[in-house]
Amino acid sequence: MAEEKDLRKAKEAWEQGTLAKVTARFPERKAEFTTLSGMPVERLYTPLDTAELDYERDLGFPGQYPYTRGVQPTMYRGRLWTMRQYAGFGTAEESNERYKYLLEQGQTGLSVAFDLPTQIGYDSDHPLAQGEVGKVGVAIDSLADMETLFAGIPLDKVSTSMTINAPAAVLLAMYIAVAEKQGVPSRKLSGTIQNDILKEYAARGTYIFPPKPSMRLITDIFAYCSQNLPEWNTISISGYHIREAGCTAVQEVAFTLANGIAYVEAAIRAGLNVDSFAPRLSFFFNAQMDLLEEVAKFRAARRLWARIMKERFGAKDPRSMMLRFHTQTAGCALTAQQPDNNIIRVTIQALAAVLGGTQSLHTNSRDEALSLPTEESVRIALRTQQIIAYESGVTNTIDPLAGSYAVESMTNRIEKEAQAYLERIDKLGGAVAAIEQGFIQREIQESAYAYQRAVESGERIVVGVNKFQVENEQPPEIHKVDPEVERRQCAKLNELRANRDNGKVSQVLAELREAAKGDDNLMPYILESVRAYATLGEICGVLREVFGEYQPAVIF
């Protein structure tokens, strides 16, 4: 190409002339510039860096394959993203109040945080639950708590996201049962369960069962929902926590999509047609500090997933190829030092998510490196989204950074490097095998350790932490969880056990046990157990008996 040749010449001339003159007198600040993830960044990107790009093949149009520019044809000109603040703490009553407050403040979807005993399938009076009840989220022991949690919130009018994984089937069953009591048929329910066990093994740690039965529970949910909850996102394949554990942007894309591939393969093996469940798969990514890298990451993930679904799995339904995702700003980027600075960090991260075309967004509160957020901090975080949505102007046109030589070049690079990881993971036997062998964990840890060293050596600046510190900071107001929560929750649980029909409970649990030993879809059995007010701990206890518990690989 003649033009390319001319441009190359012109660039060389610039480098040797104008540029060289300046750098001779004023050298650049560093010899090498890299993204937050350590990806090299050039001084200048020009059409030469995107010469390989074929517009129609690689970018296309919004709402069309390969969806690089967005999954909807109008994006935020049609409807803004769902502003969804993750919340939940203490008892169901307190969380219910917070949800109503958030809805009044203009939030458009709920996002439920559960406490750790709930996430690991223990009742609040289990010995391991001591000290943890109601701490990082709401404590749910039975349908009774779930009824309280959504009291006065019509479930056909909100979409609800639940961060629940190992016991996802149980919490989904409780949600369905609450809806029944409200007179809302399950077909009308919309929302998401995280239901992504593979990243629990790899990064987040709230697993219960070994991979095989866990994958069965997941495919049972896929099958059940395709029949009964057509509007429900059956899984939120999450890179968020993998990134929080310290990996790079490329690794976040690669490991998340590798897990996605594993779920698709498991569902196909379980006899499902790809287009029957793939449209309900959703994703969940992190928005970190490096604005351009993050925007490129979201775009690359979209394109790569579309290609995987079409080429590898032969999906026909365009919705199967669309990578729809929720974003949360990076918790690990928040600093305990000068916490107000976090408002600015969150703004940049949220902007990256919006410029990257997210479908929903959680913005972290400034005080989350210290404790659970106060109501005031949560409001500022929500206002950050609203300011981006209504004042910044970035929502007026679709995928505004497309065509930027830098962003397109980074998008290509992230896609290519993630693709290379996927090939390595395939060679290891897929994501499950790669996790069991510790490959993914080791890769994450290497990145986390490299980052920590870069911060400690001062090679990477974190404002307020290793530069621009202040002495004698005043600790800000923080949110406190009432220590009485645990006692109250245990008292409620005792009352429930005393007043329900315990004969019925034993019967439904016995049926669940038998079903778990066989290969029936477990959802109807779990739903029956929930309706009889069997507790989460009892239901998971039965499954623990049959399935055993996961033993983590120790990787350093």
Partner 1 sequence: MITEKEPMKPTDWAERVASGDRRALARVISFLENDDRQGVEVLKELYSRTGRAHVIGITGPPGAGKSSLLDKIIGELRSQGKTVGVVAVDPTSPFSGGAILGDRVRMQGWTGDAGVYIRSMGTRGSLGGLARATYGTIQLLDAAGFDYVLVETVGVGQSEVDIVRVADTVVVVTVPGLGDDIQINKAGITEIGDVFAVNKADLPGSERVATELELMLDLGNHQIWRPPVVLTVAATGQGVSELVRAAQDHYTTLQKEGKLAERRLAREKEALLLRLVERVRREILSIWAQKELSELWAALSARRLDPYTLEENVYKAWKGAKDE
Partner 2 sequence: MERPIRVLVAKPGLDGHDRGAKVLARALRDAGMEVIYTGLRQTPEQIVEAALQEDVDVIGLSCLSGAHNHLFPRVTQLLKEKQAEDILVLGGGIIPEEDIPGLLAAGISAVFTPGTPTSAVIDYIKEHVKR
Give the interface with partner 2 as residue ranges (CB under 8 A).
Answer: 116-117, 119-120, 122, 127-132, 135-136, 200, 204-207, 244-246, 332, 334-337, 369-372, 445, 448-449, 452, 455-456, 462, 465-466, 475, 478, 481, 552, 554, 556
Tokens in use for 182?
């409200």
How far apart are alpha carbons 166 and 121 in whole angstroms? 8
How far apart are alpha carbons 438 and 420 in whole angstroms? 18
Task: Give the shortest CB-257-to-partner 1 separation in angstroms.
Answer: 24
Q: State which residue, 394 or 465, has the beta carbon closest to partner 2.
A: 465
Tokens in use for 294?
């993050």
Q: State which residue, 164 or 388, has the beta carbon closest to partner 2.
A: 164
Smallest Cα–Cα separation from 39: which of 347, 252, 349, 307? Answer: 252
User: Which residues are CB-contacts of 143 (< 8 A; sequence separation ≥ 6)?
Assistant: 174, 177, 178, 530, 531, 533
Our finding on whether 26 is near partner 1 (CB under 8 A) is no
Inter-CA distances, 5 with 1, 9, 12, 48, Å: 6, 6, 11, 9
455 binds, among partner 2, partner 1, none (CB under 5 to 8 A by kind): partner 2
Question: End-to-end CA distance of the chain, in Å?
Answer: 50
62 binds, among partner 2, partner 1, none (CB under 5 to 8 A by kind): none
Stretch of 240-248, 458-466, 476-484, 548-556 lying at the interface with partner 1 (CB under 8 A): 548-556
Q: State which residue, 300 or 542, has the beta carbon closest to partner 1.
A: 542
How far apart are alpha carbons 546 and 528 in whole angstroms? 18
437 binds, among partner 2, partner 1, none (CB under 5 to 8 A by kind): partner 1
Task: Give the shortest CB-326-to-partner 2 separation in angstroms.
Answer: 20
Task: Give the shortest CB-384-to-partner 2 separation in angstroms.
Answer: 21
Task: Give the shortest CB-203-to-partner 2 separation in angstroms.
Answer: 8
Site size for partner 1, by CB under 8 A? 7
Name residue, tokens 């390989």: 52
> Rg of the chain over CA atoms, in angstroms?
24
206 binds, among partner 1, partner 2, none (CB under 5 to 8 A by kind): partner 2
Q: State which residue, 392 or 466, has the beta carbon closest to partner 2.
A: 466
Of 38, 63, 205, 552, the one binding partner 1 (CB under 8 A) is 552
Q: Concatenate the DSSP letters of all residues of 403-417 into one string.
A: T-HHHHHHHHHHHHH
Cis ω for the linkage preceding 339 (within 30 of 0): no
How far apart are alpha carbons 55 and 343 in whole angstroms? 37
Q: State which residue, 123 or 408, has the beta carbon closest to partner 2.
A: 123
Task: Give the shortest CB-409-to-partner 1 separation in angstroms.
Answer: 38
Task: Give the shortest CB-438-to-partner 1 separation in angstroms.
Answer: 8
Task: Give the shortest CB-5-to-partner 2 separation in angstroms.
Answer: 49
Q: State which residue, 230 or 438, has the beta carbon closest to partner 1.
A: 438
Task: Give the shortest CB-549-to-partner 1 separation in angstroms.
Answer: 10
Per-residue burial over 175-187, b = 16 or more CB atoms within 10 Å of its CB, e = otherwise: bbbbbeeeebebe
User: Which residues are CB-contacts of 518 (< 8 A; sequence separation ≥ 6)?
Assistant: none
Q: State which residue, 109 or 121, has the beta carbon closest to partner 2.
A: 121
Our finding on whether 127 is near partner 1 (CB under 8 A) is no
Our finding on whether 470 is near partner 1 (CB under 8 A) is no
Q: State which residue, 472 or 551, has the beta carbon closest to partner 1.
A: 551
154 binds, among partner 1, partner 2, none (CB under 5 to 8 A by kind): none
Q: State which residue, 226 or 535, has the beta carbon closest to partner 2.
A: 535
Smallest Cα–Cα separation from 389: which of 368, 366, 361, 409? Answer: 361
Task: Give the shortest CB-444-to-partner 2 separation in angstroms.
Answer: 8
Of 63, 210, 318, 400, the one binding partner 1 (CB under 8 A) is 210
548 binds, among partner 1, partner 2, none (CB under 5 to 8 A by kind): partner 1
Task: Give the shortest CB-57-to-partner 2 separation in angstroms.
Answer: 39
Task: Give the shortest CB-441-to-partner 2 separation in angstroms.
Answer: 9
448 binds, among partner 2, partner 1, none (CB under 5 to 8 A by kind): partner 2
131 binds, among partner 1, partner 2, none (CB under 5 to 8 A by kind): partner 2
Partnered with residue 90 across adjacent β-strands are: 138
Footprint (CB under 8 A) of partner 1, residues 428-457: 437
Of 1, 24, 498, 554, the one binding partner 1 (CB under 8 A) is 554
Give how far the C-alpha of residue 94 lies from the chain's centroid of Cα atoms, to the nearest Å: 25
Q: State which residue, 285 or 439, has the beta carbon closest to partner 1.
A: 439
Q: Concatenate the DSSP letters of all residues of 221-285 into one string.
A: HHHHHHHH-TTEE-EEEE-HHHHHTT--HHHHHHHHHHHHHHHHHHHHHTT--HHHHGGGEEEEE
How far apart are alpha carbons 160 and 100 in whole angstroms? 13
Strand, helix or coil at 219? helix
With residue 211 as reference, give the H or E element that holds it: helix 211-228
Task: Give the shortest CB-364-to-partner 2 separation in angstroms.
Answer: 13
Alpha-helical segments (H) within 335-473? 341-355, 375-390, 405-427, 431-436, 439-456
CB atoms within 10 A of CB 144: 19
Q: State which residue, 400 or 552, has the beta carbon closest to partner 1.
A: 552
- Edge-to-edge strand ranges of the sheet holding 325-329: 82-83, 360-362, 325-329, 281-287, 235-238
210 binds, among partner 1, partner 2, none (CB under 5 to 8 A by kind): partner 1
Alpha-helical segments (H) within 33-142? 92-104, 116-119
Alpha-helical segments (H) within 479-535? 484-499, 502-517, 523-531
Q: State which residue, 448 or 496, has the beta carbon closest to partner 2.
A: 448
Task: Give the shortest CB-3-to-partner 2 separation in angstroms.
Answer: 48
Binding site for partner 1 (CB under 8 A): 210, 437, 548, 551-552, 554, 556
